[in-house]
Structure 1
Amino acid sequence: MKQWRVLITRPTADSAVLAALLAEHNIHSSSLPLLEIEALPETPAQRSLILNLDRYCAVIVVSKPAATLGIERVDRYWPQPPAEQHWFSVGAGTGQLLADYGLSVSWPEQGDDSEALLALPKFLETLNVDAPRVLIMRADVGRDFLSEQLIQRGVQVDFLPLYRRRLPVYPSDTLIKQIQQEQLNSLAVSSEQGLRHLIELAGDAWSNLTSLALFVPSPRVAKIAQELGAQHVIDCRGASNQALLNALTAHGAPSA
């Protein structure tokens, strides 16, 4: 039976961990990071948000980079974070970073997206206070679905942008050459931005890649991928390494 040969596109350190996991299961992978994390300088407005951390009934951290940089900010200004404060993450990887720091954090057991967080009973319970206020730690730009839903429910939302995500600089033919030289038969992205960076790097060659299997983290990203021309989209139902591994093992690789 033909085996998966997958291009993984996470940031460098995350790709190394994922590649090791896939190798343990005899799945060949090739890494081409499509997300480069650049920490943003701290502004007076951002400093004010951290100094007033205790006014928020909940803090939401949307990614591992946001968790790492957010912890650095909290550690700088709060020798002891507010004891009764509730922290939430979209995924388990992000949540574990916060938990390891000693924060009281919850995340959805099923699903790595905003929809799953909005359905989490603990999260809904935390918002059930007078004049709820939430701080969201994230990149400089991101999906607004979560904040829009919270605002509709009468929650005041503040953002703490901690980093920006960039497409690393590669020669224009890097992607297609890597796929051809390593005979890859699938691509994996972990976010909408990763998908868009993949297509941007592919350029005119994207039309030649749309027949490859494309592993994505959610139904929302799957829909976007299909609208952009991808013909064989597989929803991993999560952005974690285990979710990708589960999807790879659950679906047979193409015979040609």
Structure 2
Amino acid sequence: MQPVLVTRPGERGEALAEALRQSGHAVEMLPIMALEPLIETPSQRSIWLDIDQYAKIIVVSPFAAHCLADALDRYWPQLPVGIDYYSVGTATAEALHARLGVRVRTPPPDACEDTSEALLTLPSLRRLDEQKVLLVAGEGGRLFMTHTLMERGARVTRSEIYRRDYVLPPAASRKRLAAGDYRALIVTSGEMLQHLATWCPQGALHQPLIVSSRRLATLAETLGFTATTVASGATPPALTAALARVSRPGADVDQGS
């Protein structure tokens, strides 16, 4: 049985791999990225000490949620009240609730995908006149949310508290990619997809690729991938369901959720 290649790192990658195995798929991890917390700077420490001044905190990933929780544990034995918490996806919301016990707003239930664009449709984020908003994210990445919040009147502080280290795929993984010898490839990050494309010759470009948003599907097309399927989000159930569509005999590759 050809394996499904999972690029997601860390605990979330293992959770996705386990969900796929439970659905009867062979899985092989494709380690191309590691997440590492950044060393706390004096300016970063000032943000944590002044956390009670923010009206809203938006967290973009589960790893960012854990880094934020670690920081707040150091400086706030009891969390300040009156802060609204937001996350791009349900996994991040679950991490924040588990670590901090806070209620977290996520993209609306009728949103097709868990994305920054979907989160920004929430009524409470449409008008932000002079509200202080803290955006907790990784180093680099898209600035779409930052710019949109500022355009809506928010006073945005962007806290980059971890970095992504991209590495060369192992020799065995490069060989598998070169031969297109896998059932499907799952990617949930634009930066990861761009890095991975370097190691994807024609054989890999025509194999099934599962992504977590239409934005990634557009990027995949630009990079030359020809068999992309869009999941309804980045959660294990959403990605597993997308793989099930791909795995059906005679199934067509689609761009829908």
- Tell me the CA shift for residue 253 of structure 1: 5.2
> Higher relative CO (CA 8 A, sep ≥ 6), structure 1 or 2?
1
2:39 counterpart of 1:37: no
Over aligned residue pairs, what C-alpha RMSD do you find?
2.1
**What's the counterpart of residue 135 of structure 1?**
134
| Greater alpha carbon shift after TM alignment, 104-113 vs 147-156 | 104-113
Q: Deviations over 1:20-39 (max 9, x none)?
A: 11111112221112220011
Secondary structure of residue in 1 paired with 2:141: coil
Of 73, 80, 92 in structure 1, the residue corresponding to residue 90 of structure 2 is: 92
Decide which of 112, 115, 129 is 1:113's aligned counterpart: 115
Gaps of 5+ in 1: none
* TM-score under structure 1 length normalisation: 0.89
Shift of 1:137: 0.5
Instruction: Give the % identical residues.
Output: 35
Q: Which runs of 5+ in 2 are unaligned?
A: 251-257
Amino acid at match of 2:135: I
Give CA deviations for 1:27-70 in whole Å, capped at 9, x if unaligned. Answer: 22211122200110000111111111111110000001100011
Letter in 2 for 1:30: E
The residue aligned with 1:247 is 242
- C-alpha displacement at 1:252, in angstroms? 3.4
Alignment-derived partner of residue 69 in structure 2: 71
Q: Which runs of 4+ in 1 moved over 4 A?
A: 179-182
What is the CA–CA distance in structure 2 between the aligned matches of 1:253 and 1:86, rounded to whole Å?
42
The aligned residue for residue 104 of structure 1 is 103
> What is the alpha-carbon distance in structure 1 between the residues aligned to residue 245 and residue 2 of structure 2?
11
| 2:166 matched residue in structure 1 | 167
How far 1:181 sits from its partner (Å)?
Answer: 8.5
Shift of the 29–254 alpha-carbon distance from structure 1 to 2, 3 Å rule, reads farther
Structure 1 partner of 2:56? 58
User: Structure 1's 195 and 182: CA in aligned 2 closer, same or farther, altered over 3 A?
Assistant: closer
Distance 1:253 1:186, change over 3 A: farther
The aligned amino acid for 1:112 is D
- Give the partner amino acid of 1:55: Q
Distance 1:250 1:208 in 2: 21
Find the residue that maps to 2:219 and give its secondary structure.
Answer: helix
CA distance in 2, matches of 1:104, 1:18: 24
Counterpart of 1:27 (choices 25, 28, 35) is: 25
What TM-score does the superposition give when structure 2 sets the normalisation length? 0.88
